[in-house]
Amino acid sequence: MKVNLSRPICFFDIETTGAKVGKDRIVEIAILRVDLNKAESHKVWRINPEMEISLQATQVHGITNKMIESEPNFAYYSNEIHQFIKGCDLSGFNAIKFDIPILVEEFIRAGTEFDFTQIRMIDSQVIYHKKEPRNLSAALKYYCNKDLENAHSALDDTIAAYEVFKGQLEKYDDLEPDMDFLNEFSKRNNNLDFAGKIRVDSDNNAIFAFGKYTGQKVVEVFKNDVGYYSWIMKGDFPEYTKKIFTQLKLSIINSQ
């Protein structure tokens, strides 16, 4: 891998109970860590999500409720997972839109503090879709001339994402082997949260990206519609999204 690492990078993939970020839980997580000396190590955790796995999810990844009923919950593993990725940048295939937001929610529920604003996030899917818009299996075939034998196995998907990322760096000369550049290139838009409910406008103001106040400044809405913040806190929004809204709400109080 020819990228210039200033700190380790962890490639990871999760399997979940479903596809809703604010509701569903992790049932399996695999992480492949590449250290500064390019040494590789990986770990896999099978997790009891403490909720039912949807039939649709089981049909995708093959993990049933029976298979994980005796496994520990995420809180049991949260410190171990945190220590494995601490001080690392994160990468995966569709990681920014799905895997990282789900992981954030799990850490919050477990009470594990992890500052995701201090890491760089490289998404091979974003790079791939900007260059060759297809899926992970096609990406592995295109960049590495390999077939993905066990799609939706967390470890196999994680290794595939790692192989695709290396292949992308080899193929595209304009992809600078610099983590800051790749972090910027992986961004889909200017979201403040992973769910895409809050964005930053051209003047660096936080604005709503959903509902009746779409495009309006969050702090102005909270000043003029005092009940809207409470409605959000009671709503079915991801905990990380609520956390950002709370920080914005507190900024109003602190400025008074």
The two tokens of residue 183 are 């972090």
- Reply yes or no on whether the pLDDT at 256 is more than 70: no
The two tokens of residue 70 are 């005796």
Per-residue confidence band for 7, with pLDDT thresholds at 50, 70 and 90: very high
Q: Which one has a higher pLDDT value, 205 or 133?
A: 205
Instruction: Give 32's strand partners.
Output: 11, 42
What is the distance in angstroms between the CA of the first residue and the CA of the last residue of the chain? 51
Per-residue confidence band for 133, with pLDDT thresholds at 50, 70 and 90: low
In tens, the pLDDT along 221-239 reads 999 998 999 999 999 999 9
Query: Could you tell me what percentage of the chain is helix, strand and coil, using 3-state DSSP and rounding each to the nearest 5?
Result: 45, 15, 40
User: Do the beta carbons of residue 147 and residue 137 sit within 8 Å?
Assistant: yes
Per-residue confidence band for 105, with pLDDT thresholds at 50, 70 and 90: very high
| Cα–Cα distance, 160 to 149 (Å, whole number) | 10
In tens, the pLDDT along 29-78 reads 999 999 999 999 999 999 999 999 998 899 889 999 999 999 999 999 99
User: Do the beta carbons of residue 33 and residue 8 sit within 8 Å?
Assistant: yes
| Cα–Cα distance, 100 to 65 (Å, whole number) | 23
Print burial letters for 114-151: b (CB count within 10 Å at least 16), e (below 16): beeeebbbbbbbbbbeebeeeebeebbebbbeeebeee
| DSSP-H helix ranges across the chain | 55-61, 65-68, 74-85, 100-110, 124-131, 136-144, 154-171, 179-185, 218-224, 228-234, 239-255
CATH architecture of the domain 9-185 equals 2-Layer Sandwich (3.30)
- At residue 252, the pLDDT reads 86
User: For the chain, which residues make up each domain, given as ranges?
Assistant: 9-185, 198-255
- Using DSSP's 3-state secondary structure scheme, residue 14 falls into strand
The two tokens of residue 133 are 């818009």
- Reply yes or no on whether the pLDDT at 153 is more than 70: yes
The two tokens of residue 125 are 């899917």
